[in-house]
Chains A and B, each alone.
Chain A
Amino acid sequence: MLGKSAGGLYWMYRYLERSENVSRLIEAGFRNALTRPASSADEWSSILDAAGARQTYLERYPAFEQPRVIDFLLRDKSNPSSVLSVIDSARNNARLVRTALSREVWEAMNDCWMQVKTALSRQVSDRDLPAVLSMIRQQNAQVRGATHGTMLRNDVFNFARLGTFLERADSTARILDVKYYVLLPSISHIGSVLDNVQWENILRAVGGHSSYRWLNGPDVTARGIAEFLILDSRMPRSLAFCAAKVNANLSYLEREYDTRHACHEQVEALLGRLATTTINDIFDGGLHEFILNFLGDSARLGATIETDYRFYG
């Protein structure tokens, strides 16, 4: 397949994943504002951070006011990470690689774009926000469903999945990065039960609040959450899960093309580190440093994949 098409698929699915992640972040912030209005501005500031949009926001607005932040994250075209911008980018990439997509996937993507564009054609009121956010995720699920149900499991599929999981790992890591101080021993001593609202926000932002309880029971600890989001391979948004998927997709390409590249070395090293690291190691070495390292590794891996498979030239 064309290098450009591989790149188009990779980015289509990265953007699609990003739209879902941003919508989850907005949901977490909105819920926080309803349950704990006093901390609202701080919370929106860290959500903008996790969405990688804090700087762009501050260039335009002086303060973190809820309606502005929500509008900025949902529909501001000058914010490249707004839901509207990334759905637009996902669909543009889909047009670019249309010959590689099944008709169902293309139609689901096109439909997603039309629905989201219509819903976001004007500012969304608080009353409509939950329904709009849920629609965005449903539309996402439709594209993903069509992808699973109708696409050949060949290189096309594997490039699509690479985009999904690298983006997802990035998003989870960034949420942890923004919130790591909540999990630090100085604030919550080892074994002590965390502030209810704080942890709930983190878990909500990754859509994992009920699965965490299901796996770990009602007691929520800093280590428990960090382990869940970093090392638990049952959690589909954890770093370990995403890294294993990226490794599986790259292994497929290695077999299919019968060629081993630098990206294969990199992903195996990353996976090896995650497999041999315990949560105690992570806290001993510093949670923040661990996450920064992971973000650096994942950015480098992404760049290597782009070169190894000739996305751009």
Chain B
Amino acid sequence: MSETSKFFDELQASSGDARAPYKKYHEWFQGEDIARLRRKSAEAENFFRRTGITFNVYGQEEADERLIPFDIVPRIISGREWARLTKGIDQRVRAINAFLHDIYHRQEILRAGRVPVELIANNDAFLPQMIGVSPPGNVYTHIVGTDLVRTGEDQFYVLEDNARTPSGVSYMLENRETMLQMFPELFSRIPVCPVQDYPTRLSRSLAACAPPACSGRPVIAVLTPGIHNSAYFEHSFLADNMGAELVDGSDLRVVDGRIAMRTTEGFKAIDVIYRRVDDDFLDPLNFRPESMLGVPGILDVYRSGGITIANAPGTGIADDKAIYSYMPDIVEFYTGEKAILQNVPTWRCSDAESLAYVLDHLSELVVKEVHGSGGYGMLVGPAASKKELEAFRAKLEAKPANYIAQPTLALSTVPILTKAGLAPRHVDLRPFALVSPEGIDLTPGGLTRVALKQGSLVVNSSQGGGTKDTWVLEE
């Protein structure tokens, strides 16, 4: 099957046998005909295109809507492995919410000297408008998508915390739907935890965070930047599956101290708004005045308890890449426990010594923009050409504080189906955690992103990555 390599393969143990979680799948696979599976794969693509599960790529007018490639080999996680991840994510998400509350109130962690003051004060992701504001139920991050990578049997690292508006959950659901349609026999053989109730759980979790002004059953709406946004499909998918309205800025205005949407019968108040619009664009009166995507005055309504905004404004300070390196301290500070999930060692290039090290070892490191996302503006040292390295060196020297660097991790592989059969490719994992006053609810599964190019470590869909269905086994 896969050639032996220095990377941890999740399907094939070094002995050559399938690892335990993959045993039943592997048995089934060996009885299958590659040509039939390839046909199934083409069917899946057709299914995605017909249902319009597409994303828009910025800067590509021609191919306005594209499919994210889907690979039919599932990524399988044992119940035991999942239990550990659950504990780790739960701990981390609790710490993040405690950190956010602290940072916008007493700032104990700064006083204790565990996080440097200037990292907060000079950070664009810190919103002074949120100082002293307590969101309903004290929940800041209603939805968190924790990016995990694996390097060995028991080595999981958190790569990013995604505490603003994590996307991708619709792919978790549609990938499962596709697999259920294509391979029903697998699901009768293998006990896979269901994920399909995520929208119900999300709706329940958001409703539990209704603001003081809410009377009766909370009215929930999804706020999208609009039809041209890259994740518009997901916004409409989630609204549809929650039975919530999908609104954009032009549907909303402030009426009698509430946020109201324009319906065919007049304006109707919204209690919880699941916004997929960045902080900057949320309120032209309080942030970017030119924004057409938000609602003028929503922040004032928010501060007076008229609406719940999920996730709360200002949560970006918790998943900022410069803050990331302090996460082990943050977890310990607020939970009193050692972090269960490891952080990737990180050099902050703002620090002169670190910068010198990074410049010396550029070809071995992954360098990221502190405020970047989606794999844009990122350097993967080992994969970069001499020319690319030199160009990046110049950027680093010009604005060192804009960057962090990490060692190139030996990401685990899971096979994908190619013409020649199975071939290992690097993967990451984004599970989705829901936070409400009732607790933290982690759906067993997530979005597995896979780099489709042999040897590539970049899994972002905007950079040619694909996705897989993620199975957590019931045990």
Contact = CB atoms under 8 A, between A and B. Distances in A.
Q: Do A and B share a complex?
A: yes
Contact of A2 (B51, B52, B264): B264
B262 A92 contact: no
A313 B252 CA distance: 10
A106 B236 CA distance: 12
- The secondary-structure label for the interface of chain B is mixed
A257 B265 contact: yes
Contact of A95 (B49, B236, B239): B236
Interface in A174-233: none
Interface in B36-74: 49-52
B245 interface: yes
Q: Which of A4, A107, A110 has the most CB of B within 10 A?
A: A4
Contact of B266 (A96, A107, A111, A310): A310
Contacts of A253: 264
A6 interface: yes
B240 A95 contact: no
A5 B248 CA distance: 11
A95 B227 contact: yes
A92 B65 CA distance: 12
Contacts of B250: 4, 313
Counting chain B residues whose Cβ lies within 8 A of the other chain, the interface size class is 20 to 34
Nearest to B248: A4
Q: Which of A1, A99, A310 has the most CB of B within 10 A?
A: A99
A121 interface: no
B447 to A, nearest CB: 21
A286 interface: no
Nearest to A114: B49
Interface in A1-48: 1-6
A155 B264 contact: yes
A250 B349 CA distance: 65
A309 interface: yes
B232 interface: yes
B337 interface: no
Contacts of B251: 2-4
A99 B227 CA distance: 13
B327 interface: no
B405 interface: no
Contacts of B52: 95, 106-107, 110
Contacts of A2: 245, 247, 251, 261-264
Interface string B239-276: 11000011110110000000001111110000000000
A98 interface: yes
A3 B50 contact: no
- The secondary-structure label for the interface of chain A is helix
A276 interface: no
A1 B49 contact: no
Given A1-B264, A3-B264, A107 B232 contact: no
A96 B227 contact: yes
A167 to B, nearest CB: 20
A98 B247 contact: no
A55 interface: no
Q: Which of A3, A5, A106 has the most CB of B within 10 A?
A: A3
Contact of B236 (A4, A98, A107, A309): A98
A99 B265 CA distance: 18
Contacts of B51: 103, 106-107, 110
Nearest to A98: B236
B236 A310 contact: no
A277 interface: no
Contacts of B262: 2-4, 310, 313
A73 B264 CA distance: 34
B254 to A, nearest CB: 15
Nearest to B243: A99
B236 to A, nearest CB: 4
A92 B227 contact: yes
A111 B46 CA distance: 11
Contact of B50 (A110, A257, A313): A110
B264 A310 contact: yes
Contact of A99 (B236, B261, B266): B236
A259 B265 contact: yes
B3 to A, nearest CB: 39
Interface string A249-274: 00001000101000000000000000
Nearest to A311: B264
Contacts of A96: 227
A98 B170 CA distance: 15
A310 to B, nearest CB: 5
A114 B54 CA distance: 13
B240 A98 contact: yes
B264 A99 contact: no
A6 to B, nearest CB: 5
B263 A3 contact: yes
Contacts of A1: 245, 263-264
A272 B244 CA distance: 40
A99 B232 contact: no
Interface string B351-389: 000000000000000000000000000000000000000
A107 B240 contact: no
A259 B261 CA distance: 19
Contacts of A155: 264
A281 B239 CA distance: 53
Nearest to B47: A107
Contacts of A313: 250, 262
A53 B376 CA distance: 45
Interface string A292-313: 0000000000000000011001
14 contacts: A2-B264, A3-B264, A4-B262, A95-B232, A98-B236, A99-B236, A99-B240, A99-B246, A103-B51, A106-B52, A107-B51, A110-B52, A159-B264, A310-B263
3 smallest A-B Cβ distances: which pairs?
A99-B240, A309-B264, A98-B236
Interface of A: 1-6, 92, 95-96, 98-99, 103, 106-107, 110-111, 114, 155, 159, 253, 257, 259, 309-310, 313
Given A4-B250, A114-B50, 10 more contacts: A1-B263, A2-B261, A2-B262, A4-B251, A95-B52, A98-B236, A110-B51, A110-B52, A114-B49, A313-B250
